[in-house]
Structure 1
């Protein structure tokens, strides 16, 4: 009978309203100044900052995550280079890390679209897509430059003009700390020796090269060179881990957009070691961008966990109240999304047994 009581409680729970963190109709600096990545917050002198932008990345600042003003200056954009070996076509800042010495670094998700440059036989967006991840660093002027050296994650074989589906390493998670190392997840599509799944990379905290989990240790070099390696995906993850944080009570929590047993939504997974992950737990039943329900008024993507009272300047530790953020995208009559996108958030309620209760939505 306990399951009947749980259903009755869920039905009786009042719906949780969305809080809007970025309102495109009021905050956009340009038509395509849109939230198009998971929200990444960090603390600066006098308040907090946020990047969750388009391929022309901009920063919002304010006293707290819920009171932000957009700075319309572009801090980074890709170079639209037609050469796939340069990893510099279209780029989005996806991950950020503010060091104790004030130096600031980031990772960018870089898309190469061969159909735009006449280098792909298929002449199709998805079929011609190759992805990589590069490292950035902030200049004294506040913009970002590409860090010299090879990419953080790129396939060890050349772009194939005859490819018929997207390939590469995609959608870096936030950068997060575990002991003396920084970590980040990237998602790999199956290609050659690379299996599909979530790749875990780490590098020493003071500095150094990123290395990926190879099934036994962190020895895989994903630098895209002909002698480079591929990663061994971690266990239990079949979709992008867009936000990974340490829980103050212990262990790791990650949020991912996926469909489980026919239910699309934003899901939580837990781990004690970052390599083995639990079965997903539903946080919010919502229609998703990549599994589009054309009858829905809007679809959602790019979730992240946010603890406004986190003791970490990079918000990679959950303590105190926790929120789930995501990007909401209205659908038009042809089931398409446009620039009208908002960054929204819902408060989460912790469960006694761990994790969070499902958000009661309207």
Structure 2
């Protein structure tokens, strides 16, 4: 399926011919990362879906196998992928890559699972899973409310056939990668470790960002974690302010002394806020580019939407800069068109994992055509130009 160009230059996104009541708007600024193309549809839920629950429900992840075939994972609790020789020739497969384990025990970290990040080596694809214990499905959640009984962890899965299928080679609960030091508390809110970014290789190690929401106050921040052994879920260490010394604990099995030191340190909290969705090393800027969903109260007016930030070392970040102003779900008052899950992919990046970018890349994101409560969600993309650092 070839992407369908919906309209030409984004400067005209607010024209009455566009279907959205509140379409994306390019934020006028002079930074080195700029929207430069037309908005395109990569996956149209109305015409392309295999079944109703097939939706792009996290940032898409891409890799290239040994035969040069590109895989683009559209992740939900039953993940599928698009494949082809390049990003303009992707076709959708209805084969399910992995279904959720649906284990009802919160201490097994294997309930409702999304493939959130991948890294291919030969025929092996390592994966980080976003695992939601959806307590509203079970009787201990007396409110039966999804947002009151949501406990999240990050776990490990693997493909041994270049991404055609994924399994859990390490039995639960030892497949746990990251968690908060508290156990599941029904009817107390949303807590846990969420939604890893794509994996990036740097200086002989692998890195990913995660979002954390702590208990009991629900404070949110972004953590950075690192490993040298992708196949060992226990090998990930988080940045603790001095180095990658922090060890994620199992809140059900580790002792109190271990748990006291397992809340990971926020990364550049004033500068990147809760941005975590996509990371690349950019060869033009010689800096890392992080993209994510944010706003900035220091700006007047304050644009809500997709931002980027730059860093030389993954730990210290320049203040985030707005890139594309979009309507976000938590600002919607009804079944409105909203947007989520930005990530940056350079189609021409060397290697197999698209963890670098150059002078041109594409911003991929999800358009929720009738808001969060509806399944009609399309995968979109728009070309981005990246200039030399000032």
TM-score normalised by length of structure 1: 0.87
TM-superposed CA distance for 1:90, in Å, is 0.7
Task: Output the CA distance in 2 between the equivalents of 1:39 and 1:292.
Answer: 23
Counting only pairs closer than 5 Å after superposition, residues 74-113 of structure 1 correspond to structure 2 as 74-99=96-121, 101-113=122-134
RCO (CA 8 Å, sep 6+): is it higher in 1 or 2? 2
- Residue-by-residue CA offset, 1:40-94 (whole Å, 9 max, x unaligned): 1111214211102211001210111122111111111212111101111111101
1:222 is matched with which residue: 242, 245, 248? 248
Counterparts in 2 of 1:183 and 1:79: CA distance versus 1, 3 Å: same
Counterparts in 2 of 1:7 and 1:240: CA distance versus 1, 3 Å: closer
- Residue-by-residue CA offset, 1:287-330 (whole Å, 9 max, x unaligned): 1123326485x211000001011013100000242111100111
Counting only pairs closer than 5 Å after superposition, residues 281-360 of structure 1 correspond to structure 2 as 281-292=321-332, 294=334, 298-331=337-370, 337-353=373-389
1:202 is matched with which residue: 202, 215, 226? 226
Residue 25 of structure 1 aligns to a residue whose secondary structure is helix
Q: State the partner residue of 1:64.
A: 86
Counting only pairs closer than 5 Å after superposition, residues 1-362 of structure 1 correspond to structure 2 as 16-44=37-65, 45-99=67-121, 101-140=122-161, 142-148=164-170, 149-163=174-188, 165-191=189-215, 196-204=220-228, 208=232, 209-225=235-251, 226=254, 227-228=258-259, 229-235=262-268, 236-249=271-284, 250-261=286-297, 262-292=302-332, 294=334, 298-331=337-370, 337-353=373-389
Task: Output the CA distance in 2 between the equivalents of 1:328 and 1:252.
Answer: 26
Give ranges in structure 2 of 5+ residues lacking alignment: 1-26
Residue 245 of structure 2 aligns to a residue whose secondary structure is strand
Task: Output the CA distance in 1 between the equivalents of 2:101 and 2:203.
Answer: 36
TM-superposed CA distance for 1:15, in Å, is 8.9
Residue 64 of structure 1 aligns to a residue whose secondary structure is coil
Count how many residue pairs are aligned between Structure 1 and Structure 2: 340
Equivalent residues of 2:62, 2:72 under 8 A apart: yes
- Residue-by-residue CA offset, 1:213-272 (whole Å, 9 max, x unaligned): 111111212142423422111113321310011011311001011122331110001111
Counterparts in 2 of 1:207 and 1:53: CA distance versus 1, 3 Å: closer
Task: Output the CA distance in 2 between the equivalents of 1:321 and 1:31.
Answer: 34
Task: Output the CA distance in 1 between the equivalents of 2:206 and 2:311.
Answer: 17
Counterparts in 2 of 1:17 and 1:54: CA distance versus 1, 3 Å: same
Task: Output the CA distance in 2 between the equivalents of 1:80 and 1:117.
Answer: 11
Task: Output the CA distance in 2 between the equivalents of 1:111 and 1:302.
Answer: 17
Task: Output the CA distance in 1 between the equivalents of 2:142 and 2:129.
Answer: 27
Counterparts in 2 of 1:89 and 1:240: CA distance versus 1, 3 Å: farther
Task: Output the CA distance in 2 between the equivalents of 1:193 and 1:286.
Answer: 28
Residue 304 of structure 2 aligns to a residue whose secondary structure is strand
- Residue-by-residue CA offset, 1:170-191 (whole Å, 9 max, x unaligned): 1110011111100111100122
Give ranges in structure 1 of 5+ residues lacking alignment: 1-5, 355-362
Equivalent residues of 1:98, 1:104 under 8 A apart: yes
Equivalent residues of 1:90, 1:112 under 8 A apart: yes
- Residue-by-residue CA offset, 1:131-158 (whole Å, 9 max, x unaligned): 0000111134932112412411112232
